[in-house]
Structure formats: structure tokens, C-alpha cells
Structure 1
Amino acid sequence: MTDVTHPSPEPTRTDRFPSAFTILFALVALVALASWFVPAGEYTRVASEALGKDVPVPGTYATVAATPQGLWDVLRAPIAGFYDPDSYAANAIDVSLFVLVIGGFLGVVNATGAIDAGIGAAMARMRGREKWMIPVLMALFALGGTTYGMAEETLAFYAILIPVMIAAGYDALTGVAVILLGAGIGVLGSTINPFATTIASNAAGIPFTDGIGLRLAILGLGWAICVWWVMRYAARVKADESRSLVASRAAENERHFLRSGSARVVPLTTNHRIVLLLFAVTFAVMIWGVASQGWWMAEMSMLFLAAALVIGVAGWVGEKPFVTAFVDGARDLLGVALIIGLARGIVVVMDAGHMTDTILHSAEGLVTGVSQVVYVNALFAIEAGLSFIVPSTSGLAVLSMPILAPASDFAGVDRSLAVTAYQSASGLVNLITPTSAVVVGALAIGRVPYDKWLRFVAPLLVILAVLIMGALSLGAML
């Protein structure tokens, strides 16, 4: 997709921030260094038939022999991040393969010219009303997040939405924000999300409907705040493109995503309409499969491979052009797939160093004997810290809820508030954590430097944290 006839501009001083690869590898090294100083320990774990996983037993923490991680382990971590038989939660091979298949699928769709024609037609119809795409799309992504934990699935949408946003006069960061914040606020305010609310409630020993009113309030207010934040930024960029946080990459991004603006002039033919219909049906089938059939990465990868074949035939691409388009599309997202494996390597080092349970045990002691309001906010802070270590919402629920939810009884706090504190903290941190495949993958696809994303989202995180802590405090007082 990159136009090699136009060399990239010389990097400005603000673009000299280390790449995602450098940041993540440095984090792997820092975690390995910490393993020499952080005491190693483990909880006794028992099988939970309800959760289908082993869960830690409160009060059973004990120190174990230290396993400090050295240079060999640091070098092995990015490889083990893709597949480590000793740390299944850290495996990224399924997500990375999904990303490569998505790249191939998009390459085939782009080869038909339907995306360019569709963007041009959409912009002609939305001229003057482009800003209303933002709240509508963010509402749809939030719906996916709150109902079934839409996260990795969003990686399929970035390469589609970002060209639309650029063609509308915004920038790549706007497209990333619509998806990442839209789905993210849905996960943060999960209502029936089986990977967060349901698992955490089961681990806490309560019905998942307990506390749903407070979560709906956080979801609604959080969505409104995020929409306001993105629309405010998008309007500023459209009025003055130099105010874009990725202004130095604007020309390069337009060439990359729009291929020199061809999307504005390509006519929309009947054949294009058929391809776009098949394209939309593919995503609808994906959402149906994940939400009601229990599909995950293998099934979704199969779906997009099959859809690429069907679209290749419907678009009269031809056998050799089809293979070339698919391989080139996968190659465009190879860097994303590698970043995802590297991010998961951090978790591999944490597990191998037996540090995760030690940190959890320290958190368990911090929330003993405090008031209800202090307790629930301290719990929120602890879960936020743990989320950097365990970016998986389901993994964090299984790890922390069996210990921290019973502790709520001693503080006189309803266990549903502990669940809300957990999922809100996890959802908030997973908007920025570099250990999350969703965050690093989204930024890599959108060509948005990590420091630019932090600059954009940091004030918003403060606003959302105040909202969450206020809601938790109110819930504790009632």
C-alpha cells in the first residue's frame, strides 16, 4: 500500500521518539531486570469449574525460589510472546496470524478498486456533515465493547476507517481514536461483556447483573465525554491541518491510505457495489460469530480468508493478481504482527519471574482496614496497576477477583463495586498500555507514534478517571 515513488520526509525532532519496537523491547529488559529484585511468589491455585480455569486461593501466597530473568530470557521473550507452551495467556500467534490474514483480505479488496470508489461516494454524500460519522461510529464500537468485549476484532476496521477520516479532512489519529476510544469506552463500561463482567462476577461469587445500573451510567457518560473529545480534536484539525498531532506525516499518510487521492475520483460501478456488499457482510458475519457462536481468532481468520477468495472472484481480480494482492496486503501488516508478539513477551517474562502473584499479594495488603470510599478507590488504583502487567481483561479477572472481591466484605463494600472497579480500571489502562496487542496494533496500522497518542489521550484519561472514581465513591456511600 505504501507509495515507494515518494520517499518519506526527513523526521522532525518530535518524530525522533523511539519506535514501538524499541519501547516494548526496553520494557521487556526492565521487567527482566526487576525479576532480580522483586521477590518471587505464588498463590495456590485450584480448578474452577464455573470459570474453566485455575484461580488463586486467598491467604495461600508463599514465596518460591527466585527465577531471575537474564539476557537469554530477554532475547527469547519476543519469540515466546508468539507461542510459549508454559504461558498460554501470553500467546499472540493467533492474533498475529489474524492480522496477517486481515492484511491479505484488505489487499484483495483494494485491488478491486471498490474501497477507493466507496470512500469517494461516501464523502460526496456526507459533504458538510462528516463530523456526525464520529458519534455514530463510536456508539457502534461502544456497543460491541459493552456487550461482547470487542477488542482484537477492531484491528480489522482501522485500515478501512482511517482513509475515510483522512478523505473527510481529518487525520489518521482521528480514525484511530474513533475505534480505539469507541470500543475502549464500551469495555470500560461493560454491561454483559462475558470476557470482563461475567467472568469477574462469577469469580466474585455474584450475578453479573449486580451493579449494572452504575456501569450503564459510567458507559453513557464516558461515551459522551469521549465523543466530545474526539469531535473537538477533529474540528480543530479540519480547520487548521497544522494543528494535527501527526501533521508531519500528513502527506505520507495520505499517500499510504488514499494512494494519491484516487478515492476522490474513481466512479462507483455495479461491480464495486457488489464487492462492498460482500465486504459489509463479512464484518456482519464476524460480529455474529463472535457474539453468538463463540468464534475467536481461528474462526475469524478462516472467515476473512474465505471472504478474500469470494471477493477476488466477484471482483474479477484474476489468479495471479489475487495472490499478489493478498501477499502484499499481508506484508503491509507484518510489522503490526511482530509488534503484537513483542508486546506479549513482557507478560512471558513476568510469569517466568514469578512476579505477578507477588504484586497481587502486596495489593491485597494495601486495602485492609480502610473506609468504604477509600477502599473502593484504592481497589480501582490497584486494578489499574495490575492491568499494566495483565492486559487481558479475562486474565486479570481470574487473577484478582478471587482475592480482592472477598476482601470487599471486610470493608463493607458490595462485591459488585469490586467488579466495577476492576473492569473500569482495566478498560482505562488498556487505552494506553504498550503491553496490549490492541493498542500497539492500532497505532501501528494507523501510523500514529505512541508518544503522539499519549499526548492526545492523557487529559482524557484524567477526566475519565475522575468520572469513574466519583461513580465508585457514590456507589460506596449509597
Structure 2
Amino acid sequence: MGKDKKKRASLSAFSILYIILLVLAVITWIIPDVQNATLGTIVMASYNGFSNALDVCFFVLVLGGFLGIVTKTGALNAGITHLVKKLKGNELILIPILMTLFSIGGTTYGMSEETVAFYGLLAATMVAAGFDSMVGAATVLLGAGVGVLGSTVNPFATGIAIDSVNKSFEELGIQSSVNNGVVIALGIVLWLSSLIIACAFVMSYAKKVKRDKGSTILSLQEQEIMNTEFSKKDTDVEVAYTGKMKFTMGVFAFGFFVMIISVIPWDKFNVTIFQGWSSFLTGAAIGEWWFGELGMWFFIIGLIIAFINRFTENEIVSAFMEGAKDIMGVVLVIAVARGASVLMGETGLDKYVLEHASKALEGLPAFAFAPLSYILYALLSFVIPSTSGLATVSMPIMGPLAQNLGYNPAVMVMIFSAASGILNLFTPTSGVVMGGLASARIEYSTWLKFVGKLLAMLFIVNLVVLTVGMMIL
């Protein structure tokens, strides 16, 4: 078995992304109705991707520095060890609890890029609990991912989609609008069904690994990296968890709590409690923060933790730089992944695919229209991995198309959400997927092998729910 795993050496995330860039460029030369990608377009794609994703890259880099400071205190390792000891014999319960929490973030406000912070942390936690780093990565990626898949009130997915359809109806003179109740109801069904399936899948794998370490899906090289980076403490050895460490972890948890509430668009839910007073720190109120504000927030929290632990100026700088260095690979992967979508936008390849595919769906019955629309949106999500970007570009076309064919446009909104959500669980053009896996030190090919069966199950369940919805609503 060891030899077989050794043979599974695979291309790095960078190689995969650059191959995709080249393939997309070649496609633009074959298709006559799009602008051909030039050598300059290809060469500058990574730079343009970095420029386009600068806010995300800044956030991740500062977050790495912040985690470097926290790691130097020893509180993180001691806290993980303490948690695992508390759950001795019940470690498996961590998986559904954490996946549910991440999925709530996904379905309500589209929690995605923010999760990059948790991959390394949960990889270490799950390894300490007797599982492997794949369980940690899957808990984050699948937890938040199935939440986004079944978006209910997510303003960056269903919110923008509904708004785009309603505006297109007004422009076309169509006396109709999207039924929010249908969107939320379908979203809840998709969210909960997908969450239950994903939790059961990850827990089944985790139990197998805990029972027999040789059953891990990780290659020997990945196991060596996991043991080096995420198995630094023996959980059977007594580790002091001091009052200062507990206070440090309290500040650490508070930092992430503020991160979560600060990106929820409270005004969309008519919540005004944070308006005005909460803008004193960054100039933007809680609920209006994005990656710039989040990066500086974690920088400040890092300094507070360093002060609590009485670090010298040299220790602060050294720990921050060490943490930033460790996560630089993730930053570069995110930049290159964004470069692929930038190239497609510059050449018009994204709009070409959308326009021609939507024409092919005209006149189809509901039992064919729903699954084919789902497949179309899955393909479009590869071209445009941003849910808000895809909604803005596609829904003014697909919403009226569904309405004109006599189908409920609210179901089309959920077809977009579910298809985009399932593809963003594995597409290499997603900076979250590639960056998260890089942070957990897991190869992309290993992730595909792990998640393949789950994707097939989710695909079938989603298709059934959406097709029935299209036929009866």
C-alpha cells in the first residue's frame, strides 16, 4: 500500500493553474467570436490576478503573521491539546458541530475567503484528535461550501441574483418578480440535505482513519508533511495550559468572532445596531468591513496578544515574519487562480459561453430544463468562480428565459446557487479551494480523490430537488 501511495506524486497547485491558463488561452484562439489571448495576456495573467485579488492576498498574508505571533505564545498548541483531552473518546463530535457552524456562515452571508484562516488550525486540531489533515480541510471547505450551495439569505449569491432578475424584468417590461419565500425554502432544503450528507461522509472517513492510520487517503509525502507541521505535540503528554494562555486564546477567539460579525451585511437584514459607533477603528462600520479592514484588525489583535505575552519588539517582528513566510505559498496560489478568471473576462470567453449555452436551453420541458441549467451553471462557475460576479453576469439572461418558458425564476436563482456552490467545492480556479488545500498541505489531486463520491451524491440530490421544484412551483 505504501508503494502505491508513493506513486501518487502529482502536479503542484501552481503547475495545474498555469496549465489551465494555457488551455484557456488556446481555446480563445479556436473560438472565432472572442478576443484572442495574446502572449502578453498570458504572461501578465498572474500579475493581473494578483492585482485583482490584492485585498484577499493582503488579508491572508497579515493573517499568517498574526498566526505566527499566536503560535509563538504556545497557547494555540496547548489549547488544542487541552481540547482533545477534554473530548477524549468523543473527538468525532467536533466534525458535525464545526461543519454546521461553517455552513451557517455560508448560507447566511457566503462565508468563503475568510475560511482560509481555519485550514491550518483545524488540520492541527484534527491530527491531534487522531484523524488526519484531510479531515480538517474537509470540515472547513465542505462545511462552508454546502452552506453557500444552499444559500438562503446570502446577499452575495441569492441576494444579488434576485436583484439582477428583478431589474431585468423591469427593463424588459415583465410584470413579475422573484418570490423570496421560494428561494429561502428551496435554499433550506438544499442546505440541510447537503449538510447531512457531507457530515456523514466526513465522519465516516474520520472514523476509518482513527481506527486504522494506514487507511488515510494522503500520500506518503503528504503524511510526512502532516506529521512534521501538524503533529508537534503528543496529546498523551501533560501540557500546561496556564491562565495567560487561556486569556490569549480568549483574545484569539474574540478576533475571529469580530471577523465573522463584521462581514455580515447587517443593513440587508434591517439591523442598525452597529451603525455609527463601530466605525471608530477602521472608518467602516461593522457589517461593512472587507479584507482591508479584516487584515488590519488581525494585525491589531496580534499586537495585543504579543503585549499580553510581553514579547519584545524583535520577537514580534520575527514571529510575524515567520508566520507570513509560512503562508506566502497560499497567497501566490490565490493570485494565480484569480489570473485564470481575469484572462477569461479580458477575452470575453465567459460571456461567449453564457450566451451560446442559454440559447441552447430555449424550448426545453421542465424535467430537462432544470438539470441542463444546473450543468450550465456548473460550467459557468468554472469560468466565473465568483458567485456575485456570476449572478450579475448571468441572471439578467437566465431569469427572464425561465419566466418566458413558464418556469419559476426563483427556482432558477437556486439552480445558480447550488451549481455554483457544488463546483466551488473543487474547481482549481477558486482561490479558496487551492489556497485552503495549500494551507492544509494537501495536494489538489488528493482532494479530488477524496471528495469525488461526495460530489456525485450531492449532484444527484441537488438535481432531484431542483427538478421537482421546477416542475411543481
The reply to whether TM is greater than 0.5 is: yes
1:235 matched to which residue of 2? 207
Residue equivalent to 1:49: none
AA at the equivalent of 1:283: F
**Is 1:284 matched up with 2:257?**
yes
**Where does residue 169 of structure 2 map in the other structure?**
none
Counterparts in 2 of 1:332-371, with a 5 A limit?
Answer: 332-371=326-365
Q: Tell me the C-alpha RMSD between the 2 structures.
A: 1.7
Alignment of 1:258-337 (within 5 A): 258-259=231-232, 261=234, 264-291=237-264, 292=266, 293-337=287-331
In structure 1, what is the equivalent of residue 374 of structure 2? 380
Q: What is the letter of the counterpart of residue 279 of structure 1?
A: F
Q: Does structure 1 retain, via aligned residues, the 8 Å contact 2:139–2:202?
A: yes
Offset, 1:157: 1.1
Following TM superposition, by how much is the alpha carbon of 1:286 offset from its aligned partner in structure 2, in angstroms? 0.6
Cα offset, 1:12, TM superposition: 5.8
Deviations 1:385-411 (A, max 9, x none): 100000000000001100011000222
Deviations 1:458-478 (A, max 9, x none): 111110011111001111221
Which residue is equivalent to 1:225? 197
Matched residue type, 1:333: I
Distance 1:286 1:10, change over 3 A: farther
> Displacement, 1:374?
1.0
Mapped pair 1:80 → 2:48:
yes
In the TM superposition, 1:9-408 aligns within 5 A as 13-40=6-33, 66-83=34-51, 91-205=52-166, 206-248=178-220, 249-259=222-232, 261=234, 264-291=237-264, 292=266, 293-408=287-402
Question: How far did residue 254 of structure 1 move?
Answer: 2.3
The 1:265/1:329 distance shift into structure 2, 3 A limit, reads farther
Aligned residues: 438
**Contact 1:189 1:218 survives alignment (8 Å):** yes
Distance in 1, Cα, partners of 2:376 & 2:346: 22
2:194 & 2:30 partners in 1: Cα distance? Answer: 39
Shift of 1:14: 3.4
Q: What displacement does 1:262 show?
A: 7.7
Percent identity, aligned pairs only?
39
- Partner residue in 1 for 2:405: 411
List, as ranges, runs of 4+ consecutive aligned residues in structure 1 with deviation greater than 6 Å: none
Q: 2 CA distance for matches of 1:304 and 1:140? A: 21
User: Which residue pairs with 2:283 in the alignment?
Assistant: none
Kept in 1, the 8 Å contact 2:225–2:441? The answer is no
Q: Residues 105 and 329 of structure 1 are in contact (CA less than 8 Å); yes or no, is this contact kept in structure 2?
A: yes
Query: Which amino acid is the alignment partner of residue 152 of structure 1?
Result: E
Structure 1 window deviating more from structure 2 (162-171 vs 248-257): it is: 248-257
Q: 1:260 to 1:124 in 2, by over 3 A?
A: closer
* Counterpart amino acid of residue 21 in structure 1: F
Contact 2:6/2:219 (8 A) holds in 1: no
Tell me the secondary structure at the aligned position of residue 369 of structure 1.
coil
CA distance in 2, matches of 1:259, 1:187: 33
Cα distance between partner residues in 2 of 1:262 and 1:233: 21
Q: CA deviation at 1:281?
A: 0.3
Indicate the residue corresponding to 1:63 in structure 2.
none
Structure 1 residue runs of 5 or longer lacking an equivalent are 1-8, 41-65, 84-90
The alpha carbon displacement at 1:413 in A equals: 0.9
Paired with 2:5 and 2:57, the residues of 1 have a C-alpha distance of 31
TM-score (norm 2): 0.90
Equivalence for 2:280:
none
Query: Separation in 1 of the partners of 2:208 and 2:412?
Result: 39
**Do the aligned partners of 1:114 and 1:268 also contact (CA within 8 Å) in 2?**
yes
Spell out, residue by residue over 1:211-258, the C-alpha distance to the aligned partner (whole angstroms, 9 max, x if none).
Answer: 321211111111000000000000111111111111513243122123
What amino acid sits opposite 1:129 in the alignment?
Answer: N
CA contact (8 A) 2:123 2:133 kept: yes
- 8 A contact 1:117–1:263 mirrored in 2: no
SS state at 2:163 partner: helix
| One-letter amino acid of the structure 2 residue matched with residue 213 of structure 1 | A
Q: Distance in 2 between matches of 1:222 and 1:455?
A: 19
